[in-house]
Structure 1
């Protein structure tokens, strides 16, 4: 997701495409890359001087774009604030792309959960659930709610786990995902429902 955004924005900026919307997205990318560089990262090239201040170069080649995306993702995994900023970068300037922002948060939440950081995972998954709810993305909402239920289980919050599992079950049923529905119902049964 982040790699796709970095590539799209960099390509659009270099070609002059996108008008005002493209300029704003480029500025967001510049800001994120500057913060990554300030944090000691090598995810941004030396860049150009703008008003006496060195700005990172937009990543042009595929390896540069991959390195920039990896650095942004790495910093997002360590900072909920930076994670929100990276997800916001993925949104359209008018905030209309909640689905892709939700997918970014979902990926970050899963990464934190796999790394054993349940609290950071839950912060990201809260944002993913909100974005998927806003977007009306039923199956993705089910996935996000089910994953967030895992956070609640690991944090010994059975009431919250049940609530998220019920949300997931309703969306899986609504969209005909029988495997997801069976999995969630089995966990609800373990919880006495």
Structure 2
């Protein structure tokens, strides 16, 4: 339940179904297909729990390849989240489609950042609302690898996601250039780290509840 009477900021969570061989594929050499899928399950559950805990607005799980996977349906029953299917296209097109589905402010996250907590989502919602200094067009939590683990927008900005080298270390830098071109006002919150490659696993294993994924 959302606290107080503040403007609601919905949280959209993009997640891939935990299918062995199709989830967290870059971690398969270290964890095996089943181990990588198990980690995807854990990450997705944690992301949704933190989104629900933030209580900034509704929580919507955008599933791939579709939202009717049994794991997603179980999460809907357990956490009372709404389910929708991701669109086709590259990551940018799919992200743009998520924002196009809303008329108000939205914070979008994935499931690869185990240190992204409800407090970060609350902070991002405050940035979009402009608590204290007027609303902002966008908010980001950059990632150490040059991407970002959270993006929030007050309204759809499809050009923000076009022509970006997704998966590269240039993502956040290119996004800053595009934000400036579009004349948008944005805020960046402190940088976090995510888990994409086997070399990220030792740090993951230092977190409570993740020791089983030590390489």
Is the structural similarity TM-score above 0.5?
no
Larger radius of gyration: 1
> Counting strand residues as a fraction of each chain, which structure ranks higher?
2
TM-score (norm 2): 0.28
> Counting helix residues as a fraction of each chain, which structure ranks higher?
1
